[in-house]
Chain A
Amino acid sequence: MDIFIQQLINGLTTGSVYAVVALGYTMVYGVIQLINFAHGEVVMIGAMVAFSVIVSLAGSGLPPLAIVACGIIAAIPSCMIIGYFLERVAYRPLRHAPRLAPLITAIGMSIILQHLALLVWGRNPIAFPQIIDNPSFAIGGASITGVQIAIILLCFAMMAALTWFVFRTKFGIAIRATAEDVRVAGLMGINANAVIAATFVIGAALGAIAGVMFGTYYGIVHYTMGFILGLKAFCAAVLGGIGNIAGAMVGGILLGLVEAMATGYIGEITDLCRWPGGGTSFLVERCADGGNFVLFGSNYQDVFAFLVLILVLVFRPSGLLGERVAERA
Protein backbone atom coordinates (compact mmCIF):
# COMPACT_ATOMS: atom_id res chain seq x y z
CA MET A 1 0.00 0.00 0.00
CA ASP A 2 2.83 2.41 0.80
CA ILE A 3 4.24 1.91 -2.71
CA PHE A 4 0.85 2.79 -4.08
CA ILE A 5 0.60 6.05 -2.16
CA GLN A 6 4.22 6.92 -2.85
CA GLN A 7 3.78 6.38 -6.58
CA LEU A 8 0.53 8.33 -6.47
CA ILE A 9 2.44 11.32 -5.08
CA ASN A 10 5.34 10.90 -7.52
CA GLY A 11 2.94 10.45 -10.42
CA LEU A 12 0.96 13.51 -9.49
CA THR A 13 4.17 15.55 -9.38
CA THR A 14 5.55 14.50 -12.76
CA GLY A 15 2.04 14.41 -14.20
CA SER A 16 1.33 18.00 -13.35
CA VAL A 17 4.62 19.02 -14.99
CA TYR A 18 3.64 17.01 -18.09
CA ALA A 19 0.27 18.73 -18.04
CA VAL A 20 1.78 22.21 -18.04
CA VAL A 21 4.16 21.31 -20.88
CA ALA A 22 1.34 19.59 -22.78
CA LEU A 23 -0.65 22.83 -22.68
CA GLY A 24 2.04 24.41 -24.85
CA TYR A 25 1.62 21.71 -27.51
CA THR A 26 -2.13 21.68 -27.40
CA MET A 27 -2.69 25.44 -27.57
CA VAL A 28 -0.53 25.79 -30.66
CA TYR A 29 -2.03 22.70 -32.26
CA GLY A 30 -5.53 23.92 -31.50
CA VAL A 31 -5.00 27.13 -33.43
CA ILE A 32 -2.78 26.14 -36.36
CA GLN A 33 -2.74 22.30 -36.33
CA LEU A 34 1.03 22.33 -35.98
CA ILE A 35 2.91 20.10 -33.57
CA ASN A 36 5.61 22.42 -32.31
CA PHE A 37 8.26 19.81 -31.69
CA ALA A 38 10.63 22.53 -30.49
CA HIS A 39 8.45 23.10 -27.42
CA GLY A 40 10.41 20.56 -25.35
CA GLU A 41 13.58 22.50 -26.14
CA VAL A 42 11.91 25.73 -24.99
CA VAL A 43 11.28 23.99 -21.66
CA MET A 44 14.93 22.91 -21.53
CA ILE A 45 16.14 26.47 -22.21
CA GLY A 46 13.89 27.64 -19.37
CA ALA A 47 15.60 25.21 -17.01
CA MET A 48 19.05 26.22 -18.26
CA VAL A 49 18.47 29.95 -17.95
CA ALA A 50 17.12 29.46 -14.43
CA PHE A 51 20.18 27.33 -13.64
CA SER A 52 22.56 30.10 -14.71
CA VAL A 53 20.68 32.75 -12.76
CA ILE A 54 20.48 30.61 -9.62
CA VAL A 55 24.17 29.74 -9.77
CA SER A 56 25.22 33.35 -10.25
CA LEU A 57 23.01 34.53 -7.38
CA ALA A 58 23.89 31.65 -5.06
CA GLY A 59 26.57 33.59 -3.19
CA SER A 60 24.64 36.84 -3.08
CA GLY A 61 23.12 36.29 0.34
CA LEU A 62 19.56 36.52 -0.97
CA PRO A 63 17.11 34.09 0.62
CA PRO A 64 17.07 30.80 -1.37
CA LEU A 65 13.40 31.09 -2.34
CA ALA A 66 14.05 34.56 -3.75
CA ILE A 67 16.94 33.19 -5.80
CA VAL A 68 14.77 30.44 -7.29
CA ALA A 69 12.07 33.04 -7.95
CA CYS A 70 14.66 35.14 -9.82
CA GLY A 71 15.54 32.06 -11.85
CA ILE A 72 11.90 31.60 -12.83
CA ILE A 73 11.46 35.30 -13.53
CA ALA A 74 14.47 35.25 -15.86
CA ALA A 75 13.40 32.00 -17.55
CA ILE A 76 9.88 33.16 -18.42
CA PRO A 77 10.72 36.14 -20.68
CA SER A 78 13.65 34.23 -22.23
CA CYS A 79 11.33 31.42 -23.26
CA MET A 80 8.59 33.84 -24.36
CA ILE A 81 11.06 35.53 -26.69
CA ILE A 82 12.16 32.16 -28.10
CA GLY A 83 8.52 31.11 -28.51
CA TYR A 84 7.72 34.31 -30.37
CA PHE A 85 10.84 33.99 -32.47
CA LEU A 86 10.01 30.38 -33.40
CA GLU A 87 6.57 31.37 -34.64
CA ARG A 88 7.71 34.49 -36.44
CA VAL A 89 10.80 33.10 -38.16
CA ALA A 90 10.20 29.37 -38.51
CA TYR A 91 6.46 28.82 -38.79
CA ARG A 92 4.73 31.96 -40.03
CA PRO A 93 6.44 31.93 -43.43
CA LEU A 94 5.19 28.36 -43.84
CA ARG A 95 1.62 29.03 -42.72
CA HIS A 96 0.18 28.11 -46.11
CA ALA A 97 2.76 25.51 -47.05
CA PRO A 98 1.90 21.77 -47.03
CA ARG A 99 1.58 20.40 -43.49
CA LEU A 100 4.80 18.43 -43.75
CA ALA A 101 6.96 21.55 -44.22
CA PRO A 102 6.34 23.21 -40.83
CA LEU A 103 6.58 19.81 -39.13
CA ILE A 104 10.08 19.29 -40.50
CA THR A 105 10.93 22.88 -39.62
CA ALA A 106 9.77 22.18 -36.07
CA ILE A 107 12.17 19.27 -35.80
CA GLY A 108 14.89 21.48 -37.28
CA MET A 109 14.24 24.24 -34.75
CA SER A 110 14.34 21.64 -32.01
CA ILE A 111 17.81 20.54 -33.13
CA ILE A 112 19.01 24.14 -33.43
CA LEU A 113 17.86 25.00 -29.91
CA GLN A 114 19.44 21.85 -28.51
CA HIS A 115 22.76 22.70 -30.06
CA LEU A 116 22.62 26.31 -28.98
CA ALA A 117 22.17 25.00 -25.44
CA LEU A 118 25.06 22.61 -26.04
CA LEU A 119 27.26 25.56 -26.97
CA VAL A 120 26.24 27.67 -24.00
CA TRP A 121 25.87 25.09 -21.22
CA GLY A 122 28.10 22.27 -22.41
CA ARG A 123 27.50 18.63 -23.13
CA ASN A 124 27.62 17.25 -19.58
CA PRO A 125 24.63 16.84 -17.30
CA ILE A 126 24.52 19.78 -14.92
CA ALA A 127 23.59 19.45 -11.28
CA PHE A 128 20.72 21.83 -10.67
CA PRO A 129 21.49 23.70 -7.44
CA GLN A 130 19.34 22.43 -4.60
CA ILE A 131 19.35 25.55 -2.53
CA ILE A 132 15.90 25.53 -1.00
CA ASP A 133 15.09 23.47 2.08
CA ASN A 134 13.19 20.42 1.07
CA PRO A 135 11.48 18.98 4.13
CA SER A 136 9.79 15.62 3.86
CA PHE A 137 6.35 14.88 5.27
CA ALA A 138 5.01 11.40 6.02
CA ILE A 139 1.56 10.41 4.80
CA GLY A 140 0.21 6.88 5.03
CA GLY A 141 3.56 5.14 4.96
CA ALA A 142 4.79 7.29 2.09
CA SER A 143 6.49 10.66 2.01
CA ILE A 144 5.93 13.88 0.15
CA THR A 145 8.57 16.59 -0.10
CA GLY A 146 8.13 20.32 0.07
CA VAL A 147 9.26 20.61 -3.56
CA GLN A 148 6.64 18.09 -4.65
CA ILE A 149 3.91 20.00 -2.85
CA ALA A 150 5.11 23.26 -4.40
CA ILE A 151 5.23 21.75 -7.90
CA ILE A 152 1.74 20.26 -7.64
CA LEU A 153 0.22 23.46 -6.23
CA LEU A 154 1.98 25.71 -8.74
CA CYS A 155 0.97 23.52 -11.68
CA PHE A 156 -2.66 23.46 -10.61
CA ALA A 157 -2.57 27.23 -10.10
CA MET A 158 -1.19 27.70 -13.62
CA MET A 159 -3.81 25.41 -15.10
CA ALA A 160 -6.55 27.28 -13.28
CA ALA A 161 -5.15 30.62 -14.45
CA LEU A 162 -4.95 29.44 -18.07
CA THR A 163 -8.47 28.05 -17.93
CA TRP A 164 -9.72 31.37 -16.60
CA PHE A 165 -7.82 33.23 -19.30
CA VAL A 166 -9.06 31.09 -22.18
CA PHE A 167 -12.68 30.82 -21.06
CA ARG A 168 -13.33 34.10 -19.30
CA THR A 169 -11.33 36.82 -21.03
CA LYS A 170 -12.08 38.42 -24.37
CA PHE A 171 -8.69 37.51 -25.83
CA GLY A 172 -9.08 33.95 -24.55
CA ILE A 173 -12.42 33.60 -26.32
CA ALA A 174 -10.76 35.04 -29.43
CA ILE A 175 -8.11 32.30 -29.22
CA ARG A 176 -10.83 29.66 -29.14
CA ALA A 177 -12.69 31.35 -31.98
CA THR A 178 -9.52 31.43 -34.08
CA ALA A 179 -8.88 27.78 -33.27
CA GLU A 180 -12.26 26.97 -34.72
CA ASP A 181 -12.27 29.10 -37.86
CA VAL A 182 -9.44 31.49 -38.71
CA ARG A 183 -11.28 33.14 -41.59
CA VAL A 184 -14.47 33.87 -39.70
CA ALA A 185 -12.42 35.04 -36.70
CA GLY A 186 -10.82 37.52 -39.11
CA LEU A 187 -14.28 38.84 -40.00
CA MET A 188 -14.80 39.55 -36.29
CA GLY A 189 -11.74 41.78 -36.35
CA ILE A 190 -9.51 39.21 -34.67
CA ASN A 191 -5.93 39.44 -35.92
CA ALA A 192 -5.02 35.79 -36.48
CA ASN A 193 -1.29 36.50 -36.42
CA ALA A 194 -1.55 38.09 -32.99
CA VAL A 195 -3.56 35.16 -31.65
CA ILE A 196 -1.16 32.58 -33.08
CA ALA A 197 1.88 34.40 -31.70
CA ALA A 198 0.12 34.63 -28.32
CA THR A 199 -0.41 30.87 -28.15
CA PHE A 200 3.31 30.33 -28.70
CA VAL A 201 4.28 32.94 -26.12
CA ILE A 202 1.85 31.68 -23.47
CA GLY A 203 2.88 28.07 -24.06
CA ALA A 204 6.54 29.07 -23.76
CA ALA A 205 5.94 30.95 -20.50
CA LEU A 206 4.25 27.89 -19.00
CA GLY A 207 7.07 25.74 -20.38
CA ALA A 208 9.69 27.93 -18.72
CA ILE A 209 8.15 27.38 -15.31
CA ALA A 210 7.80 23.66 -16.02
CA GLY A 211 11.49 23.55 -16.92
CA VAL A 212 12.53 25.11 -13.62
CA MET A 213 10.27 22.73 -11.72
CA PHE A 214 11.70 19.78 -13.60
CA GLY A 215 15.26 20.87 -12.79
CA THR A 216 14.45 21.42 -9.15
CA TYR A 217 12.66 18.07 -8.86
CA TYR A 218 15.21 15.83 -10.55
CA GLY A 219 18.21 17.93 -9.55
CA ILE A 220 19.80 17.53 -12.95
CA VAL A 221 19.50 19.30 -16.27
CA HIS A 222 20.97 18.47 -19.65
CA TYR A 223 20.79 19.96 -23.12
CA THR A 224 18.85 16.93 -24.38
CA MET A 225 16.35 16.85 -21.51
CA GLY A 226 13.72 18.65 -23.58
CA PHE A 227 13.50 15.82 -26.05
CA ILE A 228 12.08 13.07 -23.84
CA LEU A 229 10.14 15.50 -21.66
CA GLY A 230 8.64 17.10 -24.76
CA LEU A 231 7.74 13.74 -26.28
CA LYS A 232 6.04 12.63 -23.09
CA ALA A 233 4.11 15.86 -22.81
CA PHE A 234 3.12 15.42 -26.44
CA CYS A 235 1.86 11.91 -25.57
CA ALA A 236 -0.09 13.49 -22.72
CA ALA A 237 -1.65 16.04 -25.10
CA VAL A 238 -2.66 13.26 -27.50
CA LEU A 239 -4.01 11.16 -24.63
CA GLY A 240 -6.25 14.03 -23.54
CA GLY A 241 -7.18 14.97 -27.10
CA ILE A 242 -4.76 17.29 -28.88
CA GLY A 243 -6.08 20.80 -29.28
CA ASN A 244 -8.21 20.45 -26.16
CA ILE A 245 -6.98 22.45 -23.17
CA ALA A 246 -8.77 20.45 -20.49
CA GLY A 247 -7.57 17.33 -22.29
CA ALA A 248 -3.93 18.36 -21.95
CA MET A 249 -4.36 18.78 -18.20
CA VAL A 250 -6.18 15.48 -17.72
CA GLY A 251 -3.83 13.68 -20.10
CA GLY A 252 -0.71 15.02 -18.38
CA ILE A 253 -1.77 14.02 -14.90
CA LEU A 254 -3.07 10.65 -16.07
CA LEU A 255 0.15 9.96 -17.94
CA GLY A 256 2.22 10.85 -14.88
CA LEU A 257 0.14 8.50 -12.74
CA VAL A 258 0.25 5.65 -15.26
CA GLU A 259 3.99 6.05 -15.57
CA ALA A 260 4.55 6.13 -11.82
CA MET A 261 2.28 3.18 -11.12
CA ALA A 262 3.75 1.09 -13.91
CA THR A 263 7.25 1.92 -12.78
CA GLY A 264 6.38 1.10 -9.19
CA TYR A 265 4.81 -2.25 -9.89
CA ILE A 266 6.47 -3.56 -13.03
CA GLY A 267 9.20 -5.28 -11.04
CA GLU A 268 6.68 -7.18 -8.95
CA ILE A 269 4.44 -8.00 -11.86
CA THR A 270 7.17 -9.35 -14.07
CA ASP A 271 8.91 -11.27 -11.28
CA LEU A 272 8.64 -14.83 -12.60
CA CYS A 273 9.08 -16.25 -9.09
CA ARG A 274 5.71 -14.80 -8.15
CA TRP A 275 3.95 -16.32 -11.12
CA PRO A 276 1.99 -19.53 -10.58
CA GLY A 277 4.36 -22.46 -11.06
CA GLY A 278 7.24 -20.05 -11.09
CA GLY A 279 9.15 -21.92 -8.47
CA THR A 280 9.13 -25.26 -10.30
CA SER A 281 11.45 -25.42 -13.27
CA PHE A 282 14.83 -23.89 -13.95
CA LEU A 283 13.95 -21.02 -11.65
CA VAL A 284 14.02 -23.13 -8.50
CA GLU A 285 17.46 -22.00 -7.52
CA ARG A 286 16.87 -18.36 -8.35
CA CYS A 287 13.61 -18.23 -6.47
CA ALA A 288 14.79 -20.01 -3.33
CA ASP A 289 15.00 -17.98 -0.14
CA GLY A 290 12.88 -15.09 -1.45
CA GLY A 291 14.99 -14.59 -4.56
CA ASN A 292 13.51 -13.13 -7.70
CA PHE A 293 13.71 -13.22 -11.47
CA VAL A 294 12.48 -9.86 -12.72
CA LEU A 295 11.96 -9.50 -16.45
CA PHE A 296 11.44 -5.74 -16.55
CA GLY A 297 12.61 -3.32 -13.89
CA SER A 298 11.82 0.30 -13.18
CA ASN A 299 14.44 1.31 -15.75
CA TYR A 300 11.67 0.74 -18.30
CA GLN A 301 10.02 3.92 -16.98
CA ASP A 302 10.18 5.79 -20.27
CA VAL A 303 8.39 3.05 -22.20
CA PHE A 304 4.97 3.56 -20.67
CA ALA A 305 4.26 7.00 -22.06
CA PHE A 306 4.75 5.68 -25.57
CA LEU A 307 2.76 2.55 -24.82
CA VAL A 308 -0.07 4.85 -23.79
CA LEU A 309 0.41 6.85 -27.00
CA ILE A 310 0.13 3.70 -29.13
CA LEU A 311 -2.96 2.50 -27.27
CA VAL A 312 -4.64 5.88 -27.64
CA LEU A 313 -3.85 6.10 -31.33
CA VAL A 314 -5.24 2.59 -31.89
CA PHE A 315 -8.36 2.73 -29.73
CA ARG A 316 -9.29 6.38 -29.37
CA PRO A 317 -7.34 8.58 -31.78
CA SER A 318 -9.30 11.68 -30.84
CA GLY A 319 -8.10 11.33 -27.23
CA LEU A 320 -10.11 11.21 -24.03
CA LEU A 321 -11.72 14.65 -24.35
CA GLY A 322 -11.25 15.27 -28.07
CA GLU A 323 -14.09 16.62 -30.18
CA ARG A 324 -17.12 16.29 -27.99
CA VAL A 325 -19.14 18.72 -30.08
CA ALA A 326 -20.19 18.31 -33.70
CA GLU A 327 -17.98 20.42 -35.94
CA ARG A 328 -20.86 21.95 -37.87
CA ALA A 329 -24.53 21.49 -37.39
Chain B
Amino acid sequence: MAQALIEVLNLEVRYGGIAAVRGVSFAVEPGEMVCVIGANGAGKTSTLKALARMIPSSGEIHYDHLRVEKMLSHELISKGLALVPEGRGVFARLTIRENLLMGAYHRNDTADIDADLDKIFVMLPRLKEREKQLAGTLSGGEQQMLAIGRAIMGRPKLLLLDEPSMGLAPIMVEKIFEVIKGVAAQGVTVLLVEQNAKLALEICSRGYVMENGRITVADTSANLLADSRVRAAYLGE
Protein backbone atom coordinates (compact mmCIF):
# COMPACT_ATOMS: atom_id res chain seq x y z
CA MET B 1 0.00 0.00 0.00
CA ALA B 2 1.26 3.47 -0.84
CA GLN B 3 1.59 6.16 1.84
CA ALA B 4 -1.95 6.77 3.09
CA LEU B 5 -3.29 10.32 3.40
CA ILE B 6 -5.29 9.25 6.41
CA GLU B 7 -4.88 6.08 8.40
CA VAL B 8 -7.13 5.20 11.29
CA LEU B 9 -6.05 2.56 13.79
CA ASN B 10 -8.39 0.98 16.29
CA LEU B 11 -10.71 4.00 16.57
CA GLU B 12 -13.25 3.85 19.38
CA VAL B 13 -16.04 6.30 20.21
CA ARG B 14 -18.17 6.01 23.33
CA TYR B 15 -21.22 7.97 24.36
CA GLY B 16 -21.36 7.44 28.10
CA GLY B 17 -21.29 3.69 28.50
CA ILE B 18 -22.36 2.94 24.96
CA ALA B 19 -19.72 2.20 22.34
CA ALA B 20 -20.73 3.62 18.96
CA VAL B 21 -17.46 2.80 17.19
CA ARG B 22 -15.65 -0.30 18.38
CA GLY B 23 -12.10 -0.50 17.11
CA VAL B 24 -12.26 0.60 13.50
CA SER B 25 -9.16 0.67 11.26
CA PHE B 26 -8.97 1.88 7.70
CA ALA B 27 -6.88 4.00 5.38
CA VAL B 28 -7.42 6.27 2.40
CA GLU B 29 -4.68 7.00 -0.10
CA PRO B 30 -4.13 10.37 -1.76
CA GLY B 31 -6.52 10.94 -4.67
CA GLU B 32 -8.76 8.05 -3.73
CA MET B 33 -12.51 8.18 -3.44
CA VAL B 34 -13.64 5.84 -0.70
CA CYS B 35 -17.01 5.28 0.90
CA VAL B 36 -18.27 3.90 4.17
CA ILE B 37 -21.72 2.39 3.88
CA GLY B 38 -23.96 0.93 6.51
CA ALA B 39 -27.31 1.18 8.23
CA ASN B 40 -28.48 3.89 10.59
CA GLY B 41 -26.62 3.71 13.88
CA ALA B 42 -23.72 1.68 12.52
CA GLY B 43 -21.25 4.32 13.74
CA LYS B 44 -20.48 6.02 10.41
CA THR B 45 -21.24 9.56 11.53
CA SER B 46 -19.44 9.05 14.84
CA THR B 47 -16.37 7.92 12.92
CA LEU B 48 -16.35 11.08 10.81
CA LYS B 49 -17.02 13.30 13.80
CA ALA B 50 -14.07 11.72 15.59
CA LEU B 51 -11.85 12.34 12.55
CA ALA B 52 -12.90 16.01 12.63
CA ARG B 53 -12.39 16.14 16.42
CA MET B 54 -15.99 17.11 17.06
CA ILE B 55 -16.23 14.29 19.61
CA PRO B 56 -13.57 12.58 21.75
CA SER B 57 -12.30 9.16 20.75
CA SER B 58 -9.52 6.71 21.47
CA GLY B 59 -7.20 5.08 18.95
CA GLU B 60 -4.81 6.63 16.47
CA ILE B 61 -5.61 8.90 13.55
CA HIS B 62 -2.62 9.54 11.28
CA TYR B 63 -3.20 12.26 8.72
CA ASP B 64 -0.49 13.71 6.52
CA HIS B 65 2.27 13.15 9.12
CA LEU B 66 0.05 14.58 11.88
CA ARG B 67 -1.69 12.97 14.83
CA VAL B 68 -5.22 14.25 14.46
CA GLU B 69 -6.43 12.88 17.78
CA LYS B 70 -4.19 15.38 19.54
CA MET B 71 -5.54 18.37 17.65
CA LEU B 72 -8.57 20.65 18.07
CA SER B 73 -11.44 20.86 15.62
CA HIS B 74 -10.61 24.38 14.45
CA GLU B 75 -6.97 23.48 13.72
CA LEU B 76 -7.79 20.84 11.11
CA ILE B 77 -9.00 22.86 8.17
CA SER B 78 -5.72 24.74 7.88
CA LYS B 79 -4.09 21.30 7.55
CA GLY B 80 -6.41 20.49 4.67
CA LEU B 81 -8.96 18.33 6.45
CA ALA B 82 -12.57 19.42 5.87
CA LEU B 83 -15.86 17.87 6.95
CA VAL B 84 -19.26 18.54 5.43
CA PRO B 85 -21.36 17.58 8.44
CA GLU B 86 -24.52 15.53 8.54
CA GLY B 87 -27.53 17.78 8.06
CA ARG B 88 -25.35 20.21 6.04
CA GLY B 89 -24.75 22.73 8.85
CA VAL B 90 -24.99 25.83 6.70
CA PHE B 91 -25.25 29.09 8.62
CA ALA B 92 -28.91 29.93 7.94
CA ARG B 93 -28.62 33.55 9.05
CA LEU B 94 -25.54 34.26 6.95
CA THR B 95 -25.78 34.99 3.27
CA ILE B 96 -24.58 32.45 0.75
CA ARG B 97 -21.52 34.52 0.03
CA GLU B 98 -20.75 34.84 3.74
CA ASN B 99 -21.11 31.08 4.17
CA LEU B 100 -18.59 30.52 1.39
CA LEU B 101 -16.22 33.09 2.86
CA MET B 102 -16.36 31.28 6.21
CA GLY B 103 -15.12 28.19 4.40
CA ALA B 104 -11.98 30.18 3.61
CA TYR B 105 -11.73 31.64 7.13
CA HIS B 106 -8.29 30.19 7.81
CA ARG B 107 -6.85 31.58 4.57
CA ASN B 108 -5.34 35.03 4.17
CA ASP B 109 -4.75 35.05 0.41
CA THR B 110 -7.55 37.48 -0.44
CA ALA B 111 -7.00 37.47 -4.19
CA ASP B 112 -7.02 33.67 -4.38
CA ILE B 113 -10.12 33.52 -2.20
CA ASP B 114 -11.93 35.75 -4.68
CA ALA B 115 -10.77 33.54 -7.54
CA ASP B 116 -11.98 30.44 -5.68
CA LEU B 117 -15.33 32.10 -5.05
CA ASP B 118 -15.70 32.67 -8.77
CA LYS B 119 -14.83 29.02 -9.44
CA ILE B 120 -17.45 27.84 -6.95
CA PHE B 121 -20.03 30.07 -8.58
CA VAL B 122 -19.17 28.62 -12.00
CA MET B 123 -19.49 25.11 -10.59
CA LEU B 124 -22.70 25.94 -8.70
CA PRO B 125 -24.49 28.65 -10.68
CA ARG B 126 -27.62 28.38 -8.52
CA LEU B 127 -25.61 29.86 -5.66
CA LYS B 128 -24.36 32.76 -7.75
CA GLU B 129 -27.93 33.86 -8.47
CA ARG B 130 -28.65 33.97 -4.74
CA GLU B 131 -25.27 35.17 -3.51
CA LYS B 132 -26.76 37.79 -1.17
CA GLN B 133 -29.69 35.76 0.12
CA LEU B 134 -29.68 34.17 3.54
CA ALA B 135 -28.70 30.53 3.36
CA GLY B 136 -31.80 29.61 5.38
CA THR B 137 -33.93 30.49 2.35
CA LEU B 138 -32.31 27.81 0.19
CA SER B 139 -33.85 24.39 -0.46
CA GLY B 140 -32.26 21.36 1.17
CA GLY B 141 -30.40 20.40 -1.99
CA GLU B 142 -29.08 23.91 -2.51
CA GLN B 143 -27.95 23.98 1.10
CA GLN B 144 -26.04 20.73 0.53
CA MET B 145 -24.41 22.30 -2.54
CA LEU B 146 -23.51 25.31 -0.42
CA ALA B 147 -22.07 23.13 2.34
CA ILE B 148 -19.85 21.33 -0.18
CA GLY B 149 -18.87 24.59 -1.86
CA ARG B 150 -18.01 26.05 1.53
CA ALA B 151 -15.76 23.09 2.33
CA ILE B 152 -14.02 23.47 -1.03
CA MET B 153 -13.31 27.12 -0.22
CA GLY B 154 -10.93 25.81 2.45
CA ARG B 155 -8.86 24.09 -0.28
CA PRO B 156 -8.96 20.72 1.48
CA LYS B 157 -6.70 17.81 0.68
CA LEU B 158 -9.13 15.40 2.30
CA LEU B 159 -12.88 16.01 2.15
CA LEU B 160 -15.08 14.09 4.56
CA LEU B 161 -18.73 13.98 3.52
CA ASP B 162 -21.42 12.85 5.94
CA GLU B 163 -24.62 11.63 4.24
CA PRO B 164 -24.81 14.26 1.51
CA SER B 165 -27.91 12.59 0.05
CA MET B 166 -29.90 12.68 3.27
CA GLY B 167 -33.44 14.00 2.88
CA LEU B 168 -33.01 15.03 -0.74
CA ALA B 169 -35.09 14.24 -3.82
CA PRO B 170 -33.47 11.66 -6.16
CA ILE B 171 -32.84 14.22 -8.89
CA MET B 172 -31.05 16.47 -6.38
CA VAL B 173 -29.03 13.54 -5.08
CA GLU B 174 -27.76 12.89 -8.59
CA LYS B 175 -26.70 16.51 -8.95
CA ILE B 176 -24.93 16.45 -5.59
CA PHE B 177 -23.03 13.32 -6.57
CA GLU B 178 -22.01 14.96 -9.85
CA VAL B 179 -20.57 17.82 -7.82
CA ILE B 180 -18.72 15.41 -5.53
CA LYS B 181 -17.26 13.61 -8.55
CA GLY B 182 -16.17 16.98 -9.92
CA VAL B 183 -14.41 17.80 -6.66
CA ALA B 184 -12.63 14.46 -6.63
CA ALA B 185 -11.59 14.97 -10.25
CA GLN B 186 -9.72 18.09 -9.13
CA GLY B 187 -7.50 15.90 -6.99
CA VAL B 188 -9.24 16.14 -3.64
CA THR B 189 -9.25 12.89 -1.70
CA VAL B 190 -12.81 12.01 -0.67
CA LEU B 191 -14.12 9.89 2.18
CA LEU B 192 -17.86 9.55 1.77
CA VAL B 193 -20.26 8.20 4.36
CA GLU B 194 -23.59 7.18 2.86
CA GLN B 195 -26.70 5.19 3.48
CA ASN B 196 -27.43 5.27 -0.22
CA ALA B 197 -25.00 2.42 -0.83
CA LYS B 198 -25.64 1.96 -4.52
CA LEU B 199 -24.87 5.55 -5.47
CA ALA B 200 -21.89 5.71 -3.15
CA LEU B 201 -20.34 2.52 -4.54
CA GLU B 202 -20.96 3.70 -8.09
CA ILE B 203 -18.79 6.79 -7.68
CA CYS B 204 -16.17 5.42 -5.26
CA SER B 205 -13.40 2.99 -6.09
CA ARG B 206 -13.46 1.22 -2.74
CA GLY B 207 -15.88 0.83 0.13
CA TYR B 208 -16.09 -0.24 3.73
CA VAL B 209 -19.23 -1.72 5.23
CA MET B 210 -19.90 -0.76 8.83
CA GLU B 211 -22.17 -2.71 11.16
CA ASN B 212 -22.64 -2.14 14.87
CA GLY B 213 -19.55 0.00 15.20
CA ARG B 214 -17.23 -2.33 13.29
CA ILE B 215 -16.01 -2.60 9.72
CA THR B 216 -17.23 -5.99 8.54
CA VAL B 217 -16.34 -5.91 4.86
CA ALA B 218 -13.69 -3.97 2.95
CA ASP B 219 -13.38 -4.36 -0.78
CA THR B 220 -13.46 -2.64 -4.15
CA SER B 221 -16.75 -1.13 -5.18
CA ALA B 222 -17.15 -3.58 -8.02
CA ASN B 223 -16.80 -6.54 -5.67
CA LEU B 224 -19.09 -4.99 -3.07
CA LEU B 225 -21.75 -4.31 -5.69
CA ALA B 226 -21.51 -7.97 -6.71
CA ASP B 227 -21.43 -9.34 -3.16
CA SER B 228 -24.68 -11.12 -2.38
CA ARG B 229 -24.68 -10.17 1.32
CA VAL B 230 -24.15 -6.48 0.49
CA ARG B 231 -26.80 -6.66 -2.18
CA ALA B 232 -29.26 -8.20 0.25
CA ALA B 233 -28.51 -5.85 3.15
CA TYR B 234 -27.88 -2.49 1.49
CA LEU B 235 -29.01 -2.55 -2.10
CA GLY B 236 -32.53 -3.74 -1.40
CA GLU B 237 -32.42 -7.03 -3.24
Contact = CB atoms under 8 A, between A and B. Distances in A.
Interface of A: 170, 173-174, 176-177, 180-181, 183-192, 325-329
29 contacts: A170-B105, A174-B102, A174-B105, A176-B91, A176-B93, A177-B94, A183-B54, A183-B73, A183-B85, A183-B89, A184-B91, A185-B102, A186-B72, A187-B52, A187-B76, A187-B77, A187-B83, A188-B77, A188-B102, A188-B103, A188-B106, A188-B154, A189-B76, A189-B106, A190-B105, A325-B134, A325-B136, A329-B136, A329-B139
A62 to B, nearest CB: 42
Contacts of A192: 74
B220 interface: no
Interface of B: 52, 54, 72-78, 82-83, 85, 87, 89, 91-94, 98, 101-103, 105-106, 134, 136-140, 143, 150, 154
Nearest to A186: B73
Contact of A180 (B93, B103, B154): B93
A188 B105 CA distance: 6
A189 B106 CA distance: 6
A92 to B, nearest CB: 15
Contact of A189 (B54, B78, B136): B78
B85 A184 contact: yes
Contacts of A328: 87, 92, 136
What 8 pairs between A and B have smallest CB-CB spacing?
A189-B106, A186-B73, A184-B89, A189-B77, A325-B136, A186-B74, A188-B102, A188-B105
**Binding site of A, secondary structure by majority: helix, strand, loop or mixed?**
helix
A180 B90 CA distance: 9
Contacts of A325: 92-93, 134, 136-137
Given A180-B92, A188-B77, A325-B136, A173 B101 contact: yes
Contacts of B139: 329
Nearest to B98: A173
Contacts of A190: 74, 102, 105
Most A CB atoms within 10 A — which of B102, B106, B138? B102
A164 to B, nearest CB: 14
Contacts of A170: 101, 105
Nearest to B134: A325
